[in-house]
Amino acid sequence: MTYDELKKLDSEYYMKTFGTRLPAVFTGGSGAVLTDAEGKEYIDFLAGIAVNCLGYSDEGFQAVLKGQVDSGVIHTCNYFYNEPQARLAQLLCEKTGMDRVFFGNSGAEANECALKLAKKYAYSKGKDSDRFVALKKSFHGRTLFTLSATGQEKFHEPFRPTAYDFTYIDANDMEAAKSAVTADKCGVIVEVIQGESGVLPLREEFVSLIRALCTEADVPLIIDEVQTGMGRTGRLLAQEHYGVKADITTLAKALGNGVPIGACLASGPVVDAFGPGDHGSTFGGNPLACAAGLYVTERIDDRMLSHIENMGAYFREQLEFLMAKYPEFIVGVRGKGLLLGAELSGKADAHAVQDELLKKGFVIGTAGGNTLRFAPPYIIMQKQIGLLIETLDRLFQ
């Protein structure tokens, strides 16, 4: 099927949630390179929005999926035990230091679970509250509850009333945090790097303060690691850079390397708030998704994390070189590991740069008001990063 034929079908039958999509149809891939229907190759610096962490055609990953499919058991349901689910639960808890996990199908479901768990914990203590704290410019998902937790007014207006009562504070505002994080709240949810708003890392002292305030008030701290978790920043969890541990942590995206899966992990007293019937999922934790997650989690070892850290440092150095060379176009470089953003001035449009790079064989993303977002597969190589930098250099000349 040609690009024009696909575009016509999409425009006639798919809901208009994605508007006009980027002009490429990918039909194959190897390593960090995608191939379109015409045979053109693209170096991938988006990874399906931080999802395809192992790139494409990873032989071990394909063998695991094929083995699970060939077993004939892709889904049973959570009435029964299944081995991939149990093994993945154990490995994730051991690697993160958390106590228990619940598996869903997406980041939004993982965050929904986290918020429900915090609410149930408050209820179990006799707290009659529906109040939460979240950050402005945050993004936590598209369900009504997670949309309500998202601190961006543009997402709220068409869907009011929002779910529960959220107090939104500015990131890194210490005084606002002290006023907002109090014992009458059910939970506090943050991303330590706000991905969708432009790759905006929180300050260490702010994260430490939030952690201390939550502990003092006995309010669960939820750290949303849907985009930053599973090695994206050079550590298994981005919160490790900050020296804190959440009461509840959420994962998705890279956990399945393209197979839909989300995880809500918890530790401490909050973990026992859920009892039988309090939460569930038909597809969550199915054998296929958990087999994928198990393989990915095993692959993200010290060697992989070191590669992510090294490539991220080189990538950031090269972006900062471009910023120094073209200060009229690039006004900021941010992020950790292989989650990086380059904020553009009003003299350059991020979407236009994205379009030009696609024509030249590079897939990138955008975020925030005018930021180029880079979240390549973890297996990206220095030479591939260099080719992107050279192309950006020519674009800004």
Same domain, 288 and 335: no
Q: In total, how many domains does the chain have?
A: 2
Residue 359's domain is classified under what CATH number? 3.90.1150.10
Neighbour order of strands in the sheet with 100-104: 100-104, 262-266, 248-251, 221-224, 187-190, 131-135, 165-169
> In this predicted structure, what is the pLDDT of residue 352?
97
290 and 306 in a single domain? The answer is: no
User: Which of 275, 299, 323 is a domain's end point?
Assistant: 299
Last residue of a domain, one of 239, 273, 299: 299
Q: Of 274, 299, 324, which residue sits at a domain end?
A: 299
Q: How many CB atoms lie within 10 A of CB 282?
A: 10
CATH number for position 225: 3.40.640.10
SS (H, E, C) 109-172: HHHHHHHHHHHHHHHHCCCCCCEEEEEECCCCCCCHHHHHHCECHHHHHHHCCCCCEEEEECCC
Whether residues 11 and 135 fall in one domain: no
* Domain limits for position 9: 3-53+302-396
Q: Quick one: 44 and 192 in the same domain?
A: no
Largest Cα–Cα distance of the chain, in whole Å?
A: 63
Q: How do residues 34-83 score in pLDDT, each as one tens digit? A: 999 999 999 999 999 999 999 999 999 999 999 999 999 999 999 999 99
- Looking at the structure, do residues 263 and 378 belong to the same domain, yes or no? no
Clarify whether residues 185 and 283 are in a common domain: yes
29 and 68 share one domain = no
311 and 350 assigned to the same domain = yes
Three-class secondary structure of residue 349 per DSSP: coil
Domain shared by 153 and 264, yes or no: yes
What pLDDT shows up at residue 369?
85
* Structure-token pair, residue 253: 């995206």
Instruction: Supply the pLDDT for residue 69.
Output: 98
Residues 47 and 88 placed together within one structural domain of the fold: no
| Contact status, residue 95 vs residue 245, Cβ threshold 8 Å | no
The pLDDT, as a whole number, for residue 240 is 98
The single-letter DSSP state of residue 31 is B
Both 83 and 36 in a single domain? no
Which segments of the chain have a pLDDT < 70?
none
Residue 8: per-residue pLDDT:
95
Determine the pLDDT at residue 2: 85
State whether 386 and 266 are in the same domain.
no
pLDDT of residue 188: 98
Q: Does an H or E element contain 94, and which?
A: helix 83-96
User: Cα–Cα distance between 31 and 382 in angstroms, integer?
Assistant: 13
